[in-house]
Each structure stands twice: as structure tokens, then as C-alpha cells.
Structure 1
Amino acid sequence: MIRTHPPATMSPPFPPLSTLLLFSLLLTSPVSAWKKEEFRDCNQTPFCKRARTRAPHSIPSLSVSSLSLSDGAVSARLLPSQLLQSPTDSTPASPRALTLRLSVYTPGALRLEIDEDYSDPDAPSHRRFRVPDVLLPDVDDRHKLYLPRISSASPGVTSFYLPYGFEAVVQHEPFQIEVRRASNKEPILSFNSHGLFDFEQLRTNKSDGEDWEERFRSHTDTRPRGPQSISFDVSFHGADFVYGIPEHASTSLSLRPTRGPDVDFSEPYRLFNLDVFEYLHDSPFGLYGSIPFMLSHGTKSSSGFFWLNAAEMQIDVLAPGWDDPANPSPNRIDTLWMAEAGVVDAFFFVGPETKDVVGQYLSLTGTPAMPQHFAVGYHQCRWNYRDEEDVDSVDAGFDSHDIPYDVLWLDIEHTDGKRYFTWDKTLFPDPVGMQKRLAAKGRHMVTIVDPHVKRDDSFFLHKEATEKGYYVKDASGRDFDGWCWPGSSSYPDMLNPEIREWWSEKFLFENYKGSTPSLYIWNDMNEPSVFNGPEVTMPRDAVHYGDVEHREVHNAYGYYFHMASSIGVVKRGEGKDRPFVLSRAFFAGTQRYGAIWTGDNSADWDHLRASVPMILTLGLTGMTFSGADVGGFFGNPEPELLVRWYQLGAFYPFFRGHAHLDTKRREPWLFGEKNTALIREAVHVRYSLLPYFYTLFREASTSGLPIMRPLWLEFPQDKETFNNGEAFMVGPALLVQGIYQAGEKSVSVYLPGTESWYYLRNGVTYAGGRSHKMEVFEDGIPTFQKAGTIIPRKDRFRRSSTQMVNDPYTLGRTNLSKKKFSSECLIERVILLGLSANAKKAVIEPGNHEVDIELGPLSLRAGSSPVALTIRKPNVHVADDWTISIL
């Protein structure tokens, strides 16, 4: 976050005066909007500019040779058919062969690996970086379970049958790969069908007159190994839309074309983790995290593509007719993938359903971690709660205004001079007592731990990291020294497993003094953010463990930091405690370690609207536990916006209110009695639905299906849903439509499918497969339950979710099938929608006892009219087998 706080005392050595002035301005000037000039565009990024200027089939082609089946995979060499460039190009004059490997890693997932041939005597000794620790540990053994076999061979083409009815067709010259259905030969995905594959090989010597350095503003990137970019085209066949590759802010759920006829965006989608404050709400520009995974969807099938590469990536979605405006290809979406470094380590997912594609991706990178129950409740955060008295006052305010919450957060000001794992002894003299007061009400605390370590010889963390040589190095081999909140700072090299282990030990109670079992962690600024670095991040020529340049690992730095922190919380509890660690930066696989949020948004209606497609996209790419700052981080929301944000945020998987230091205080009771009541009702909605949400989190932890889902994920044949980013499903049963404009009086809600839907405001039935104009009310946003579904609720409101554990349940239907689990909770009521009002009695088995059916309210909120049939106190346990028959 770029924030406006006076800098702490700086430790020597001091940077140049110009840097001091810049840093001072960053921290003391009023925060302004995103500054385009501070970040590179494609034309200022040589690898992107080069790749984007190439026409289809303009690159001299490669040919496949020495193709064979061995060790459960297809192996081959890629040979240049001619010199790959003219003498003035920046690539080598004598290109070497590349190695190719194709293997099947799980049903429906095909892996493609292309790298340098290190057996070549002219190959450099340095190997290109392959990202470790992202794929699950057993992945490398799986391909031996799914062996391809040659299904046909003809001159120049070899087809391999893959398990479960698919084929990979390798064209030898010019090289390309097509994945298709074996039964009807319909293509699903293709690689290099437009001949845009380019692989800049590593070198040790420059050509005469060649300059490997790159410059941006006042920064110079030395690029000691020269250009090493990779680019290629991927085509999704049978696709109407493509989705994914977070993180960017957009009001469109689908990825808009970035090149071609009638294209609005001129920039590709950028994946490069950056600290971007007050970001644009509708832009392909990259933000805090990167997941290079794209999904396609059409009425016939879905597919996906994942490139395991942590270097900067730029991706074009090409509009129909981009290559030939006169002959646009129907039902195919072409994309161009460009990365600064790395290798080709890519996966094709064949679906055929989108839920299959999500499952195939997560079978490699891992399903989301199952959170603790309290983490699914409401979180209250601000930069910063001033002291222990302020914490106690805010906590008491929730009680006095009958608003439940579970977690109170502390930002950077709680520390001793921005030294993490410490407390300001004046403002927080008794952190243990403070946490125990919250814990007595079933509540928890979260404190922030960022990756920048204050360079202060008296600080135990810095002293130990320096002595052990645990910091990232600069290009000259010294500990990298950048500027962040503490001033002069260094950054632990989290690529090193030994350093991650060391970091995890810092969370033990004996090391993190003042922490208790009810304290959890927030990782911010872990892109990493470096205030005086190029584009507010670490220089690309910094050096990590194993002689890996930062350019090669940049997008995964925050992932490794999050991993180490999460492991630390587990270790603190001796493996008995599921962690809660929130991270701002993320990469593929982050879902295994905790939650993320969408970063420093703004208090305006556009950012409220953009939050929905952002969170839906994150869910599709594995990050099911995500949310946006309710109310907006920057600025002061008008009361109506704040209320609408709470009403929408109550359905986010991660539900947290957060605000910048310079904003007005915005605890829920500070906006007048009427608005307090509206916010209270929104939070109560969340707490009543906690059993449903927690069930969905359990499903996500096993299947990977997101909690908050695009409509088309549940209704894949309904074209009206394919680009709807304003409404969404919560699990399979609830449809939610946000309100995104001030003073809205009505809204059109599209209800998909052929089922009926029940409006949860009044129980009225609406038909599916059409749009309905709905009157908008101030006390909630339109929410519908799909016919034939069951939603468990808890309708007794306590101070926190912890205090609700043994409360009884309310169910929406009787045909609930459930596994046995241990619980003494009773079913308090069953609410029935869609039954005749003539039903008067119900018979409950076992026991054969009758109970009356009453006309009762749909919910317990004030003013709810009696529109539903209600069975009160059936007196059955939630863990038992029982039936209710309606007479």
C-alpha cells in the first residue's frame, strides 16, 4: 500500500538525496490516483514489444525430430529449420536445439515442457529457472499412471492417444500441437498453430555493439544473461469467452480482447505483482497477484491452459479476425502468451465441463485450505487502531450495537518502529491481556507481518538474518537494501527452503512475544513492495538462492512468503491448528496457504461493481477464499455506498471492512441509527448463513469448486449467463444481485435455468430463464434461492461465530442427506417454500409424532411478513437420520 505516514528514522547507509526526497514525498504527500507513468507499458517492455510486432508465421519455424516414447512420456528435439534472426537481432546467430516433453499428469491434463538442451556442448552452464514448490509433491510421479501411446503416424504428423478419450497431435514441421477428442477429432486446444513460438536462448557473450541493459525512468536493469523471453500462441476451440489470469480490475467477467478489429484495450493483460495504490477499476494492468491460468467456455465444452512461470507475463486475447479481418475464425479464441524468462512448463486441460477444468487445475496445484470457522465470520480492520483502549472501545461498540464480529485487526502502527514480531510498548503494553479479553467473547486478533525487515543492528530479526546471510542480494552480491515502511529495509530470500524454515520459527510463542493462540497473521506488501525500486518493487537483477535472478521468480516471491508464514502458524500450534494467514500477493498454489483480498481499492461505486468479477475470477483460478475491502480502502464512502457494500460483502467468501489511515472512522455505528440498523442486518445475514458458507468451504477444500461462482458455472448451457459479472451464485443454491448505483429504484435480475426461484425477501416465486425487473429496497439486495435446494441457517445471533457453535439450525427443506458427524445441535425450525398453504400437519420419524405447520416469517429480521410454511421445534438432532412427511 502506498500510504501517507511520516517515515520512521532511517538507518545508514543513506540513499542519494533524490531518493530521500522521493521517499519523503511518497509518505507525506496526499495520496493521489494511479500514476500511469510510474509503471511500464508493453512498448516500454522490450520482450513484449518484440513479441507483439510479429505477424503469424513470420518467425522461422522449428521442426520436431527424434520423437519417441520413453519413461511414460513423449520426448523429442526441436530443431531450428534456419537461422532464427538477422545479424542485427538480439538473439544468438547460431541457435541450438531445444528439448520437448509431453506427458499426461491426471485425467484430462496434458503437460508440455520445452527447455534448453543442456547436453549440447555449447549450452550455457546456467540453467533456466523452473518454479519449484507450486505443483503438489506427488505430481512428478503421476504421469507414469497415464501412459500415452501412438494412435497414428504419417509423414510429418504423429498422434498420441491419451487416457479418457483424447489425442495429442504433433505436427513435425512447422511444429505445432493440437489436443482433440479422439472420437470425432474435434480440436479443443492448440499450441503454435499461428507460428508465434519464439524462445530466446541463454548466452554468455554479447554480440558486437549489443546492449543487454534495459532502462526505465531512473533505474537500469543489467540483464547479465541477456534476453531470454518466450512467447507462443494458444487457441481455445469451441469457445465463446475466456476467463481467468488474475489479477486485474475489470467490470467484465470475461476477458475482453486486447488486439484486433474494434478493440478497446491497447495493452495486453499484465501479470507482474505490483503495489498499485488506488488502482483503475477497468484495466488490463496487473495488480498484486498473478495466476497464469486461463479457462474457456462455450455451449459445447470448456477447456483451460496454465503456464507455470513466475516471470513477468503479458497476455493478449485476440479478437476474431486479428490475423485476417476478412475471415474471422468462428468459435475459436486465440491468445498470445509472452514471458520475460523461464521455460515452457504448461498444462492443457480438456474439461469437458468447467467444473472439470477447475478440478484438473487444482489436482496439480492443490485444493484450497479449509479455514477455521471463525475466519468465515466478519472481520473489522483499519490502518490503524491506535492503542489497547481503542481496541477495547471498538470491541465494546459491536456489543452495544448488537453487531456480531469475529476478528479485530492491527496494522503496522502496533509494532515498535515497524519492527515486525514486536509491539509498541506505550500503545500496546499488555498485548496478551488485550487478546485474552477478545478471546473471552470467542473473538480473535490478526496482526500484520510484512517481508521488509528494518535494517537496525539492534533489531534481533535483522541481526540474525544478516549474520546467516538470509537476505536477497543485489546485482553486486551485497544484501539488497530497499525502502519501505521502516525506511532502509532488506528482504528474506524466501526461495530458499532453509530461510522459509527459519522464518516459520519466528511465529512460535517463545519467539513472537506477546502472541497467543487466538492471534493470526496478515502478510501485506509482499509483491514485494520497494518504494524506491523500479515500478515500486525489487530490481529484476537482484539475486536469489541458487543464482536465480529476481526477474525469474518475481511473481512467486509473495507466494513463498505466505507459505512460510502459514507453516509458522501451523508449527506454532504443533500441527493441531488450521492457520489463518491473509496475503496480498499471490501465485498459483496460494490457495493451499490461506486467504487473499483484492488490495487497495477505493470508496466508489465503480470499485464496488468491479469487486464481483474480480472475486469470481479468483475463485475460478483456485483462490476461493477472497474478498474486497468493504467500503473501499481509500476515501470516505457515502452512507448509501457503505450500506450497499456491506450488503454485497456479506456474500464475499472473505468478509472484512478495512480503511486507510487518513479516512474518517467508519465503524458500523458511526453513520446514524438507520444506517447502523441496515449494516447490522447485512452482518446478521452473513452469520445466519455461516453453516451454508462453511459447508461450501468444505466442498472447496475437497473439490476446489469456488464459494462465490459465476452464474454459468452452475448453468453452463445458458448463454445469457456467460458474461454476467453483476450477479453471482453462492454455492449451488443462492443467487445474489448487487446494487451498483446510488439511488437505484429498480434492477433487472436474470434468473437462469428452467427451475423456479424464490425471492428471499418475501418468498414469491419467479420463473427461471428470463429477466425480472425488481424493485430495490434499502434493507437488502435481491437474493434468490433455487427451487429444490436446502440452505442450513442459524438464526440466533451471538457476539461471534464461536458462541454459535451449539445453537440450533433452521433448514429450508426436508430431503437432506448428510454424513454422520458429532453434534448435539437441534433443528430449530424447517421453513418450506413452494408448498400449498393447505398443508397443516407434519409427521416426524422416528417417533411418529405430529407437529403443526404454521404460516410464518421467511426470516427473523424485523418486518418480515408471514409468507412461508414453518415447522417449529421438530426436536430432531442435526446429526441423526430423520424424515418429515407433510400431510
Structure 2
Amino acid sequence: MKLTLVAILFCILQFALTVDRSNFKTCDQSSFCRRCRKVTPGDSPFALVPGTLNIYSDSITTDLVNRENNHLFSLKLEALQGNTFRLLIDEKTPLKPRYRVNDALKSNPVPGTIKVSERADNELVITSGTSKAVVTGTPFKIDFYQNEKLSLSINAKGLMRFEHLRKKPQPPAETENNENPDELPKEVLPKSIEDEDPGSWEENFKSHHDTKPNGPEAVALDFTFPQAEVLFGIPEHADSFVLKPTAGTDPYRLYNLDVFEYELDSKMALYGSIPVIYGHGPEETIGVYWQNPSETWVDVFNSNAEKNVMSSIVNFVSGSRQTEPPAAHFMSESGIVDVFLLLGPSPLDAFKQYTDLTGTAPLPQLFTLAYHQSRWNYNDEQDVNSVSNKFDEHDIPMDTIWLDIEYTDGKKYFTWDPHKFQHPLEMIKNLTTLGRHLTIIIDPHIKRESGYFFHQDCTDRGLYTKNRDGHDYEGWCWPGSSSYPDIFNPEARKYFADQYLLENFKTTTKDVMIWNDMNEPSVFNGPEITMLKDNVHFGGWEHRHIHNLYGHMYLMATFDGLSRRDPNQRPFILTRSHFAGSQRYAAMWTGDNKADWGHLEASVKMCLSEAVAGYSFCGADIGGFFGNPDAELLLRWYQTGAFLPFMRAHAHIDTKRREPWLYPEDTKQIIRSAIRERYSYLPLWYTMFYEHERDGYPVMRPLLAHYPKDKNAFAIDNEFLLQDRLLVRSVMQQGVSKVDVYFPTKGDGKGDIWYDVDDYRKITTVGHESIPADLKKIPVYQRGGSIIPKKERIRRAATLMKDDPYTLIVCLDANQSAKGTLYIDDEKSFEYRKGQYLYIEYEFKNGVFKNRFIDNKSKYSPRSWLERIVIVGLEKVPKSAKLKASKSDAADLEVLPQGNAYVIRKPGIGMAEDFSITLKY
């Protein structure tokens, strides 16, 4: 392995140590965070300027003044369709433009309509639909009401701050009689927070110096959720799903950073930053999307809650009410106030309002929802072929093998190691012939080596990010000396995207997919292991203004390249760094976790937080990236990973090999069973992701999404829902033989019926039930009233299951009825957007099972057929069934008892055929 000395040392540190907190700032070490936290609550200096109001069909504009310094701001409050408002505040006449985000939203939001009335008591009322905003002029505040109930308040705590751009003050000229600055007259002593803080105009962290040419430019605003009892969101953090109060601790930090072997139960920043937060109570859910890509800290207030979330939930359940409602204080280093208010009122309404703005994951190719096998690194072509063959030998399905950085020629991307990977096209063909795929890593650090075409082109064309002196920025990463494409430059993005085209990257094929890592960006010798804030990007923007968007823009380039490489094949990209809207381009994973039980539990919590923030396609390295999991941990991780949206095993270069067959036979068999169970549910996963793109709701959901009145469920983050069809409570503790599963209530003391997917045991419990869970058991339950599609002929790869028959699992509710959906297309192309698909609703009611095609204009006709219907929860014993079909003769069907279910065998009808089946008792 060819590594520079710097890379070797960094690699050793990564493997040997837990996270070194001293490498990362605290709020007290961040000048703007200190300043924003010093604002005195309850005495806001901001007020509307009388006589400046303008009223339009969808919005109002007015001037806002900071009465402490008389600086003017422009304010716009706009109503959007879908019960959403947008608030924009910027300087009225800034010294230079402030950064505005252009690439997070999927498109321009659709405006709504408003009615405006004024009140004599310093208030303005803006009504849109069933919601209204009451704007108070002095001090400035906005209250949002729904059906006359206060739902959200802006600046109710008076913590707003907007530091206007200014010229750096010069010290007074020294005189003979006054040479000591400590003896300056009082009238020239510092008076503002900015002047008092030593880091306002330049700042040091360890050996790094930040010049801050624009000086202090922070923005901050508080949001209060009067109806809420818990707050959640603002990923990415290795913390509980419900956010903890930050009094006496650091705020939650949003600043994309390379943090290896990250701490658990921590508010420290990680690889991604999505600045959306939700307040939830039994009556409503409200969201706030703070669209700002600069470094951001978020204080969470919850006056009656203990630091331990569970104790606060006990308080809620026992009936105690907070003296003050929960609130959040967003504090960003630069930019403007650009915030969307998502007024729900239900949890799913609020989640959809966010994805209506930032988009959803496009329907992925089906194979990407199957099992992925990776490590840093598979050694050579023979190793890749051997691993693929071993999966077949042990009858374990697998769809994709991944290659980390060692496949390249000396860490130069878009190249192959000439010795270890001499015949990449042949290796790729060997995989695709078996129905498998290859994914390779492409990172943003570019090796500064003479003769390397990529480096030479970026240098000659001026495509690299610049340092503050205008020269190409140079940092250190895996290749050693590296530079970083200025991905904000459209020409740089196009150049990067062009390299994926097959006429340029000739040693790959259109079936090779891409992994973007280290794209925070990671810079080993930079401040906090990332890029200098006073580096300069296209348009003159400092890196501080756009840091959290860097990885997002990098994804845009990769997605563009793969889309142009093969316009009719859906790209697949995996990313570590992400921002709001990144879900439109890539799946994500939770980064450099480690092989311990706490990190296994964190994988569920983190993916839940990502899901409600628009990022459904989430997973974690199975087994942990660092360390060597024992057999029990590894198999439990596979069982958990089988029910997370993205399922990949990955490991550090210094870990022991951990392919399933290297463990004892009983462990291998349990892992094999978990992977095969994942494959059986692929029709459900595919349907859920189609419905996510279509409707905007998350695939993976917290319990409160469907049980919003159940206070006991608010803080539960060791189990989750897949849509409203499956409840998953995998085993994530060492040495246990049983687990407590919580079955939620609808709020009336009643719950749903649930059925164990293994034996169809009926569960009517409301609350916790202790479930036996030996090493083979994954506690998963199907909701009564749902229908789930499956495929039960498991093959070596999902691509080979395309035409296989379906099984439908019908679990009945208390009314002896059930509904469900199934989506089918060619599993690969964009033809589904031209109507080439089937979207089917199935229903069982009054003893009749039938289908309905939701989109009658769809034209797709698959070769697959319906093999079995399993009906669970029947109160009467059926003797037979009668089939009526549009393209087949009527037929009598067998109905056979099978444990706690009844099976209708071999209806034998095509999936595109209308039919009904009537049970005969």
C-alpha cells in the first residue's frame, strides 16, 4: 500500500484513538457563537419601521431597524402553498451582497395568497388559508396561529441578532498625552458585543489563523413551539432522536466535519448538516427549515425537562406542563435569515412540507436496495472475484462489491492501479455477468502530481479553490499534497462531471456506480480537519459562507456526470457529506462508526433523524468501520441493517476480514438468513421508495409519525416504522434473550393489531411487551390492516429476481379488512416517468380480495405473476376461494391452513391483470 507519511500517521491515529475533542471547536472557542449567546433575552432591539409596508398578493415587505445602531434591514414574509410561510431578512443596503442559497431547493416554491389587516395595537395580521401570522412591530415578533391556536412564535425570546457588514474600525490616533490604550476616553471604548469580542475581526484556533475580511456577520433567531413537548431533527448527530436541552452545555453544531470514531450521545458536528427542526405535541407538529449553509449552532430550550430525555417524558406522561414551551435558537456565522415555517399540522404534513421544498430521493435502481459488500480495501482483481464467488458458494445473496481508494494508481482518481487492477473491464464484466455491480470511490481531494491529467487540467483552467492570497489552495489528504476543485464554479462542476463519461473514463462501464467520501471537505492539516474559512470560491464567496454546501455541490457534479454517461439509467451515488436537498442526488451513510453496541443503537437513531429531514436513503456500516466485532455483535448488526433503507457492510483497512463465511457456521447461517430476509422484502422496499418520491413522506419513520398522541412513544428511538406497515425493534444489546417492544396507542387507549412476521402470532398489546429474542430472532411486526408484497425465491442478486412471482401478505385489522400497494417497473431506467410502470392497490374486505390499478394510463406489462396470498387474522375458516380475472377463466382455488395463516396457492394470474378472489366459508 502506497501512503504518504502524513496519510500513514493519520491512518494510525484514526485506528488507535477515539475522537480528539481538542481538534474541534466548542461554542466558547467560536467567536460568533459566543456573541449570539450573549444576547440578553426579552429585550429585542429590532422593530418594524412605520410607513414602509408594501402588500402583495402573496407577501408583505417592510423595513426593519436595529434600534441600537439604526441599521436598516429589509423583511419579506411570504405565504407558500401547502400551509408554509417563508421569512427573508437581509441588510437593506449592505456593503457587499450576503450569500443566499441557490441549490438546496428543488425548484422555486409555489406562492400562496394572503389577506392583510392592521390592528391598532402595533400588529399586522396576514391570513393564508386556515393559518395566520400576527406580526408585532415593536419589539419585532411573529406569531403563527392555526384555527386560532398559537402554533409557532419567532423572536418571542428576543434573541434575534443580525450583524451588519461594516468597515473595520481603526484605533484612535495616539497622542503624546495619551499613549496608553487603557486610558482612552470612555466615549471611544467598545460598546457592542462585536467590539468586545476579540474574535470578531480575526480568530485563531490552534495553529490556524482566520482573517475574517468581512468582520462580524452573524445572524440568529429564536423559534418557540407553544404546542410542542419534544423537539427533533437537525441531523447529523450521534445523539438521541429527541433533542436534549443545551443549557449548561454546548449547542448542537451543524458544520460538516470528518470525525472518525465519533462519540455517542454528543452534540458535536458530524459529516452532514440539515438545518430543519420539528416541534411535536399531541395536537400538532410544526417545522422550521433554517436555510443557511454557514457554520450553525442550535440551542435547545426545554425549561421543565431534565437533561435526561426519558425523565422529561415521564413528566409529560404524568401530566406536568412546562412553565415555558420548547424553543430553538439558530445561530449562523454569516448569510441572511432565510427560513421556512412548516405549519403541519400532522407529523406527516410537516415532513411533506419540507420535501416539497427540498425534494425526495428519486426512485433508485432496485439492486441498490439489496445487500452491498465493502471494505477498505479488496486487494486486487482476484480478491474481488473470489469474494463474489464465495457468496455464491455459501448461497448468500449480494448485489454490489465496493472498492475503496486502493484501487487507484497512487490515489489518483479516474485511474486504476496498474498492478493490482490490470484488467478492470474484465473484472467488471465478471460481476455484471452474474447480475452484480461494482461501486468505486471518487473523492474531492486531487493529488498534486506533475503529469496527472486531472491536476494539470484544474491548474491550467483555474478550477481549484483559492486561498486568501488568490493561489490554488493546497492541503493534505490521502494522496498527500492535494488541491480541491472549486465545485461552486460551473466550469469546475462540468469538468468533474465530464470525467465520468465513458469516452473519458474508458476503464469503467455504465453499470459502475460511485461513492463520494471525504467531501466535507476533509483536509488532514486544516482547522478542524477541513478547509480554511477564508479560502475563496467562485463569485468571491469565502468558504465560511458555503461550507456546509460543498459536499452537496460535489454530489450535483457526480449526478450530472452519471446522468449524462447513460441518460436512461438511474444513477446511484453514496455520500458522507450532505445538506438540505442532497437526498435528490445520493444515498448517505453515517460515517466512521465503530464495532460496539452503542454505535449499533446509534445507527437507528441517526437514520430516524435523517429520515424526518428528507433523507430516507440512510444506512450505517454493518459491523462498525473501526474495530473487530465479535460474532454476536456482527449478526445483530446484520439483523438491524436488513431493515434500514441502505444495507452495506464496510470495514477499515486494519480490521480483520469479516465476510460472513469467516465466522462460525451458526453465525454465518444467521447472517445469511438476515440477508435473505432483506431480499424477500425487496418488493416492499421498492414500493416504499416509489411512494417516497411520489408523495414526499419518509420511508423510515418514528412512532410519533403515525401515533402522534401517544406521549410514551415520543422519545422511543430503538424501534421504528417502515411506512405504517412494519414495526421493527431489532436486538441491539449484548447477551440478551428477550427485548421489550413498545406497541403504540392511537390516543384513545386503543392500539392496532400487530402480527409477528415469523409466525403470524397476533398481538393486541398496547404498551410494552417482553418478546423472546434468541440469536435468530429479529422482532418485526406487520400492522393489522396492511398488505405487504414479497418475493420468496431468493437468488444470488436482486437483478435476477426481476421476473420472479410475488407473494402478498394480508394482515387483517379488527374489521377483518386490509389495504396495501405494490409498485413494479423495469427496476433500472427512467421509463417509469413515461408511464412504464404498474402501481397497484390491493384490498381485502368482506371476504373479497381484489386489486385496482391506481394509474390507469400506465402501460407496463411485467412477466411476473402472483404466486401466493397469505391471509392472517381471519375469524372464519375458509374452505376454498373463487377467482375471477379479466384475462383468465374463473377458477376454484385451494385455501390451506399454515400455522396462524391461510394460504391461497397459485392464483397464477399476471400482475397486470384485474382480478378478484372471494373466500368461501
Give the TM-score normalised by structure 2.
Answer: 0.88
Contact 1:375 1:580 in 2 (8 A): yes
Q: Who is 2:275 aligned against?
A: 292
Question: Hey, what's the Cα distance between the residues in 2 that align with 1:233 and 1:642?
Answer: 43
User: Unmatched 5+ residue regions in structure 1?
Assistant: 10-19, 84-94, 260-264, 857-865
Q: Who is 1:886 aligned against?
A: 919
Contact 1:569 1:579 in 2 (8 A): yes
Question: Hey, what's the Cα distance between the residues in 2 that align with 1:331 and 1:577?
Answer: 52
Q: How does 1:278-289 map to 2 (within 5 A)?
A: 278-289=261-272
CA deviation vs aligned residue, 1:696-728 (integer Å, no higher than 9, x gap)? 000111122111111111222222211110111
Shift in Å, 1:229: 0.6
Shift in Å, 1:57: 2.2
Identity, in percent, stands at: 42
Matched residue type, 1:221: D
Instruction: Return the match for 1:742 from 734, 756, 764.
Output: 734
Q: Who is 1:848 aligned against?
A: 890
1:41 aligns with 2:33: no
Q: Who is 1:192 aligned against?
A: 155
1:876 aligns with 2:909: yes
Residue 417 of structure 1 aligns to a residue whose secondary structure is coil
- The verdict on how the C-alpha distance between 1:440 and 1:24 changes in structure 2, with shifts beyond 3 A counting, is closer
Matched residue type, 1:159: V
1:80 aligns with 2:66: yes
Contact 2:351 2:698 in 1 (8 A): no
Shift in Å, 1:848: 3.0
Q: Who is 1:371 aligned against?
A: 364
User: Unmatched 5+ residue regions in structure 2?
Assistant: 173-194, 307-319, 746-750, 811-848
Question: Hey, what's the Cα distance between the residues in 1 that align with 2:280 and 2:689?
Answer: 24
Q: How does 1:657-668 map to 2 (within 5 A)?
A: 657-668=649-660
Deviates more, 1:488-497 or 1:658-667: 488-497
Question: Hey, what's the Cα distance between the residues in 2 that align with 1:750 and 1:28?
Answer: 42
Residue 332 of structure 1 aligns to a residue whose secondary structure is coil
Q: Who is 1:756 aligned against?
A: 753
Shift in Å, 1:836: 4.2
- The verdict on how the C-alpha distance between 1:727 and 1:362 changes in structure 2, with shifts beyond 3 A counting, is same
Contact 1:322 1:328 in 2 (8 A): no
1:807 aligns with 2:804: yes
Shift in Å, 1:151: 3.3
Shift in Å, 1:63: 3.4
- The verdict on how the C-alpha distance between 1:419 and 1:71 changes in structure 2, with shifts beyond 3 A counting, is farther
Shift in Å, 1:321: 5.6
CA deviation vs aligned residue, 1:319-344 (integer Å, no higher than 9, x gap)? 22699xxx985572111111111100
Q: Who is 1:697 aligned against?
A: 689
Shift in Å, 1:743: 1.2
- The verdict on how the C-alpha distance between 1:75 and 1:690 changes in structure 2, with shifts beyond 3 A counting, is same
Question: Hey, what's the Cα distance between the residues in 2 that align with 1:248 and 1:361?
Answer: 20
Matched residue type, 2:669: A
Instruction: Return the match for 2:442 from 436, 444, 449.
Output: 449
CA deviation vs aligned residue, 1:156-204 (integer Å, no higher than 9, x gap)? 1111111x211111100011111112x32x1111111111111111113
Shift in Å, 1:816: 4.5
CA deviation vs aligned residue, 1:278-334 (integer Å, no higher than 9, x gap)? 0012111110000000012111111100111000000011122699xxx98557211
Deviates more, 1:823-832 or 1:839-848: 839-848
Shift in Å, 1:852: 1.6
Contact 2:166 2:215 in 1 (8 A): yes
Question: Hey, what's the Cα distance between the residues in 2 that align with 1:451 and 1:44?
Answer: 28
Matched residue type, 2:143: E
- The verdict on how the C-alpha distance between 1:348 and 1:482 changes in structure 2, with shifts beyond 3 A counting, is same
Instruction: Return the match for 1:55 from 29, 32, 40.
Output: 40
Residue 787 of structure 2 aligns to a residue whose secondary structure is coil
Instruction: Return the match for 1:765 from 745, 762, 765.
Output: 762
Instruction: Return the match for 1:110 from 85, 95, 98.
Output: 85
Q: Who is 1:16 aligned against?
A: none
Contact 1:839 1:853 in 2 (8 A): yes
Q: Who is 1:32 aligned against?
A: 17
Q: Who is 1:467 aligned against?
A: 460
- The verdict on how the C-alpha distance between 1:518 and 1:61 changes in structure 2, with shifts beyond 3 A counting, is closer
Instruction: Return the match for 1:258 from 231, 246, 249.
Output: 246
Contact 2:347 2:704 in 1 (8 A): no
Q: Who is 2:637 aligned against?
A: 645
1:214 aligns with 2:203: yes
1:134 aligns with 2:104: yes
CA deviation vs aligned residue, 1:452-493 (integer Å, no higher than 9, x gap)? 011112000010011110011001110000000111111011
Question: Hey, what's the Cα distance between the residues in 2 that align with 1:449 and 1:770?
Answer: 47
Question: Hey, what's the Cα distance between the residues in 1 that align with 2:635 and 2:321?
Answer: 46
Q: Who is 1:87 aligned against?
A: none
Shift in Å, 1:873: 0.8
Question: Hey, what's the Cα distance between the residues in 1 that align with 2:912 and 2:97?
Answer: 56
Matched residue type, 1:751: F
Q: Who is 2:181 aligned against?
A: none
CA deviation vs aligned residue, 1:77-106 (integer Å, no higher than 9, x gap)? 0112233xxxxxxxxxxx520110111122
Q: Who is 1:526 aligned against?
A: 519
Deviates more, 1:147-156 or 1:228-237: 147-156
Contact 1:238 1:331 in 2 (8 A): no
CA deviation vs aligned residue, 1:584-615 (integer Å, no higher than 9, x gap)? 00000001101010000011000001111110
Q: Who is 1:69 aligned against?
A: 55
Residue 129 of structure 1 aligns to a residue whose secondary structure is coil
Contact 1:79 1:98 in 2 (8 A): yes
CA deviation vs aligned residue, 1:608-663 (integer Å, no higher than 9, x gap)? 01111110110101001110111110000010000000001001100000000000
Residue 790 of structure 2 aligns to a residue whose secondary structure is coil
Matched residue type, 2:132: E
Q: Who is 1:15 aligned against?
A: none
Q: Who is 2:4 aligned against?
A: 8
1:165 aligns with 2:165: no
Contact 1:106 1:363 in 2 (8 A): no
CA deviation vs aligned residue, 1:758-790 (integer Å, no higher than 9, x gap)? 112221111142221111121121111111211
Instruction: Return the match for 2:787 from 763, 787, 790.
Output: 790
Shift in Å, 1:206: 2.6
Residue 257 of structure 1 aligns to a residue whose secondary structure is coil
Shift in Å, 1:815: 4.6
CA deviation vs aligned residue, 1:378-431 (integer Å, no higher than 9, x gap)? 000000000000000000010001011111000000000000010001000111
Q: How does 1:561-580 map to 2 (within 5 A)?
A: 561-573=554-566, 575-580=567-572
Deviates more, 1:552-561 or 1:209-218: 209-218
Question: Hey, what's the Cα distance between the residues in 2 that align with 1:775 and 1:876?
Answer: 39
Matched residue type, 2:648: R
- The verdict on how the C-alpha distance between 1:331 and 1:370 changes in structure 2, with shifts beyond 3 A counting, is farther
Instruction: Return the match for 2:212 from 223, 229, 240.
Output: 223
Give the TM-score normalised by structure 1.
Answer: 0.91
Contact 1:276 1:287 in 2 (8 A): yes
Shift in Å, 1:207: 4.3
Shift in Å, 1:362: 1.2
Question: Hey, what's the Cα distance between the residues in 2 that align with 1:205 and 1:239?
Answer: 43
Q: How does 1:143-182 map to 2 (within 5 A)?
A: 143=111, 146-162=112-128, 164-181=129-146
Shift in Å, 1:55: 2.9
CA deviation vs aligned residue, 1:556-588 (integer Å, no higher than 9, x gap)? 000000111011100100x21110011100000
Question: Hey, what's the Cα distance between the residues in 1 that align with 2:672 and 2:53?
Answer: 66
CA-atom RMSD in angstroms? 1.8
Matched residue type, 2:219: I
Q: Who is 1:514 aligned against?
A: 507
Contact 1:129 1:548 in 2 (8 A): yes
CA deviation vs aligned residue, 1:511-539 (integer Å, no higher than 9, x gap)? 11211021010000000000000000000
Contact 1:837 1:869 in 2 (8 A): no
